[in-house]
A and B are shown apart, each in its own frame.
Chain A
């Protein structure tokens, strides 16, 4: 059992948790994740380690309610427990002083990009962050991102805050301004990551994305997390989750992530129904 030390909503449906997990807190590096299982019947879901406090022995995760498991997680409060937290999993981000590095986060992807952006800053990069959200209420980690950036931008699809438009438009603007950009990290919905890859490809800018295939064990045993990179099979949990954006087959990832769509909806609907009945939604 792992205790939740604190739990606060950052935006509607996006919640930040500090969890007591001393071994993981000590070990984790930017770009790594944990797999959690809420209770005895729970599924194993991967979540990025957004931050950690080795002294206190806690890790921070930020989850967006996407379906049954994440919604159930987001109803947990400080003092509650989670059955299993295992990690840190995945290969840490490759960090070096590239020169100028842009970190792009879309939606909850901002939470996943944050630790790597911080590590890039620490390594001496000139860090530019672009964080996109659908609208102002969904912007997360604005202050944290600012703190690790030399320049930071917010974009909203509806123009309710910051730059009106997509993260890719802001990225294109920066490229067009003649800035020398050495490295781009993009984390968010699959179409966004694909769009970023398409923007940087013609300029030959090294671009890395963090993929979110469906996982179970996270140790390289089940093969469920396999992705196609440079026409080869790679395991997201072992070889990734970060890959060269220009080599990733995004369509294959999007297709494969839909495999349990029907079942996931079924579970989510049943859960929503149960919450409505008990009036706790």
Chain B
């Protein structure tokens, strides 16, 4: 179909293009990606659904304001590399954001087409061009300014750190990224499972960053191996960006939480994703709780909970439940993941809270008593608060419980750099226009500032900080 000749009616008649997916029955037996992506024909067809609004509200919906109308137009014209280039002006990791952004709450939520029809599949298109670049062998490497002679340390290699490093390198600064773990990528590698974001993609994006001259040092825990002050005073960094993410998983504080078989989602997911425990004992030495034929309950309703429960199913769980205190509409997880989970046979036990974990004499978990909830009056956040239904207690027999109710913040930096101001919630306090902390030449962004949020918000924060650091280093701003 020719983009120029298409009539409005024809345009509206094009259905939203669906990506093909692995059959649920098959995919619960493997860790391969669920979605298989759009074909080039589908992508162009989908791009034609965009009416190229004069006032593209979708852009406002995107936390980093990707020029959505423009990149979609380039796709419609078949200029896929041009589209990548356009996206990369605002977002360096399109293959990743296209896969993990909660589009239904952001760009696609406000898309005009969505008022009457399904919104334009902006996320899927972004993913398509990102993948096109990676697989076509024609990399769109960014232009790098001449070296400035300035050195910046980026602490943490999650999305916040990576996007900050990318921009700083483009400005011509020397960038060294310090990462505590043995692998780079933060939550992208240890949290989000392979079946949602293949690690190969993260590795390829990292190769791109390496080609820009960014240096990566793994196995460095800032605050332990070296402090922020030492980075500046002894190693000569002119500025430091802190993107260390969330940490310290929260527990529920109910009886029995220390029984054998009760795990934080981070532990379960780290074992499986980062340490490849699903290959145990063959090509991984890290074990994970044997889920085969077992009953597993995951407590929570966010992306982490959904990832954990679907991982347990793939490891062979007989029953895999989501136990969540509100209803499906209130679940913070991406809509697509909830749908995928339902198709994979995940059982949703909604409006339910756990009261106590129970176990055997040997302290092995074998059940959880739960109580039903109903919706009461709206609370401060405007959501109706769940209240317990008297007499609705029941026992759910389970062998493993995964707690996924969120994280506090990592304490290592604040313990060793007391002059960085922190909030009551122990997150780092910054000026949101520059991401500057209370300490001179130290910036921060991502989950360590916001508490658990999203990949794109972390990336946006990294960019904002990079711009401010650049200005500061250029001497334009004096503080």
Question: What is the CB-to-nearest-CB distance from A209 to chain B, in angstroms, rounded to a whole number?
Answer: 18
Contacts of A223 in B (CB 8 A): 248-249, 251, 263-264, 266-267
Please report which residues of chain B, range 212-241, place their CB below 8 angstroms from some CB of chain A when the two chains form the complex. Answer: 218-221, 224-226
Contact A83 B182 (CB under 8 A): yes
Contacts of B271 in A (CB 8 A): 216
Contact A255 B363 (CB under 8 A): yes
Contact B285 A222 (CB under 8 A): no
Among A69, A217, A226, the residue within 8 A (CB) of B258 is: A226
Contacts of A100 in B (CB 8 A): none
Please report which residues of chain A, range 219-241, place their CB below 8 angstroms from some CB of chain B when the two chains form the complex. Answer: 219-224, 226, 228, 233, 235, 238
Given A259-B289, A270-B281: A222 touches B225 (CB 8 Å cut-off):
no
Among A83, A235, A252, the residue within 8 A (CB) of B248 is: A235
Q: Mark A9-46, 1 if CB is under 8 A from B, else 0.
A: 00000000000000110010000000001000111100
A218 to B247, CA, bound (A): 11
Contacts of B218 in A (CB 8 A): 84
Please report which residues of chain B, range 284-311, place their CB below 8 angstroms from some CB of chain A when the two chains form the complex. Answer: 284-290
Contact A84 B182 (CB under 8 A): yes
A218 to B251, CA, bound (A): 18
Contacts of B285 in A (CB 8 A): 41-43, 68-69, 267
Given A24-B225, A85-B219, A260-B287: A220 touches B261 (CB 8 Å cut-off):
no
Contacts of A160 in B (CB 8 A): none
A264 contacts the other chain (CB 8 A): yes
B206 contacts the other chain (CB 8 A): no
Q: For A91, give the chain B residue with the smallest CB separation.
A: B415
Contact A238 B284 (CB under 8 A): no
Q: For A2, give the chain B residue with the smallest CB separation.
A: B219
A87 contacts the other chain (CB 8 A): yes
Question: What is the CB-to-nearest-CB distance from A145 to chain B, in angstroms, rounded to a whole number?
Answer: 27
Chain A contact surface mostly: mixed
Q: For A264, give the chain B residue with the smallest CB separation.
A: B287
A222 to B271, CA, bound (A): 9
Question: What is the CB-to-nearest-CB distance from A43 to chain B, in angstroms, rounded to a whole number?
Answer: 4
Q: For A252, give the chain B residue with the smallest CB separation.
A: B258
Contacts of A266 in B (CB 8 A): 281, 287
B411 contacts the other chain (CB 8 A): yes
A262 contacts the other chain (CB 8 A): yes
- Residue of A221, A249, A264 with most partner-chain B CB within 10 A: A221
Contacts of B181 in A (CB 8 A): 217, 219
A248 to B62, CA, bound (A): 49
Question: What is the CB-to-nearest-CB distance from A211 to chain B, in angstroms, rounded to a whole number?
Answer: 14
Given A219-B410, A224-B264: A41 touches B284 (CB 8 Å cut-off):
yes
Contact A221 B410 (CB under 8 A): yes
A233 to B275, CA, bound (A): 25
A129 to B220, CA, bound (A): 34
Q: For B286, give the chain A residue with the smallest CB separation.
A: A43
Contact A219 B264 (CB under 8 A): no
Given A42-B285, A84-B218: A89 touches B224 (CB 8 Å cut-off):
yes
A164 contacts the other chain (CB 8 A): no
Q: Could you say which interface size class chain B belongs to?
A: 35 or more
B180 contacts the other chain (CB 8 A): yes
Question: What is the CB-to-nearest-CB distance from A21 to chain B, in angstroms, rounded to a whole number?
Answer: 9
Question: What is the CB-to-nearest-CB distance from A215 to chain B, in angstroms, rounded to a whole number?
Answer: 10
Please report which residues of chain B, range 267-281, place their CB below 8 angstroms from some CB of chain A when the two chains form the complex. Answer: 267, 270-271, 275-276, 279-281
A263 to B225, CA, bound (A): 32
Contact B225 A86 (CB under 8 A): yes
Q: For B285, give the chain A residue with the smallest CB separation.
A: A43
- Residue of A69, A222, A256 with most partner-chain B CB within 10 A: A222
Contact A220 B248 (CB under 8 A): yes
Question: What is the CB-to-nearest-CB distance from B191 to chain A, in angstroms, rounded to a whole number?
Answer: 9
Contact A86 B260 (CB under 8 A): no
Contact B267 A216 (CB under 8 A): yes
A258 contacts the other chain (CB 8 A): yes
Question: What is the CB-to-nearest-CB distance from A149 to chain B, in angstroms, rounded to a whole number?
Answer: 30
Contacts of A238 in B (CB 8 A): 248, 411-412
A88 contacts the other chain (CB 8 A): yes
Q: For A219, give the chain B residue with the smallest CB separation.
A: B180
A258 to B365, CA, bound (A): 13
Contacts of A255 in B (CB 8 A): 259-260, 362-363
Q: Mark B244-261, 1 if CB is under 8 A from A, else 0.
A: 011111010000011111
Among B249, B275, B290, the residue within 8 A (CB) of A44 is: B275
A41 to B263, CA, bound (A): 23
Contact B362 A86 (CB under 8 A): no
Contacts of B283 in A (CB 8 A): 41
Question: What is the CB-to-nearest-CB distance from A128 to chain B, in angstroms, rounded to a whole number?
Answer: 31
Please report which residues of chain A, range 86-138, place their CB below 8 angstroms from some CB of chain B when the two chains form the complex. Answer: 86-89
Contacts of B258 in A (CB 8 A): 226, 228, 233, 249, 252, 256
Contact B225 A88 (CB under 8 A): yes
Contacts of B257 in A (CB 8 A): 233
Question: What is the CB-to-nearest-CB distance from B235 to chain A, in angstroms, rounded to a whole number?
Answer: 10
Q: For A251, give the chain B residue with the smallest CB separation.
A: B363
Contacts of A219 in B (CB 8 A): 180-181, 221, 247, 410, 412
Please report which residues of chain B, range 376-413, place their CB below 8 angstroms from some CB of chain A when the two chains form the complex. Answer: 410-412
Contacts of A270 in B (CB 8 A): 281
Contacts of B220 in A (CB 8 A): 23, 86
Contacts of A262 in B (CB 8 A): 290
Contact B249 A222 (CB under 8 A): yes
Contacts of A249 in B (CB 8 A): 258
A252 to B362, CA, bound (A): 10
Contact A87 B225 (CB under 8 A): yes
Contacts of A222 in B (CB 8 A): 249, 264, 266-267, 270
Contacts of A221 in B (CB 8 A): 190, 245-249, 266, 270, 410
A228 to B259, CA, bound (A): 11
A256 to B257, CA, bound (A): 11
Question: What is the CB-to-nearest-CB distance from B19 to chain A, in angstroms, rounded to a whole number?
Answer: 32
Q: Mark A56-92, 1 if CB is under 8 A from B, else 0.
A: 0000000000001100000000000001111111000
Q: List 30 A-B contacts (CB under 8 A).
A: A24-B225, A27-B224, A41-B276, A43-B287, A44-B275, A68-B285, A86-B221, A87-B224, A89-B224, A216-B271, A216-B275, A217-B270, A219-B221, A221-B190, A221-B246, A221-B410, A222-B264, A222-B270, A223-B248, A223-B263, A233-B257, A233-B258, A238-B248, A252-B363, A255-B260, A255-B363, A259-B289, A263-B287, A263-B288, A266-B281
Q: Which 3 interchain pairs have the tightest Cβ spacing?
A: A263-B287, A223-B264, A255-B363
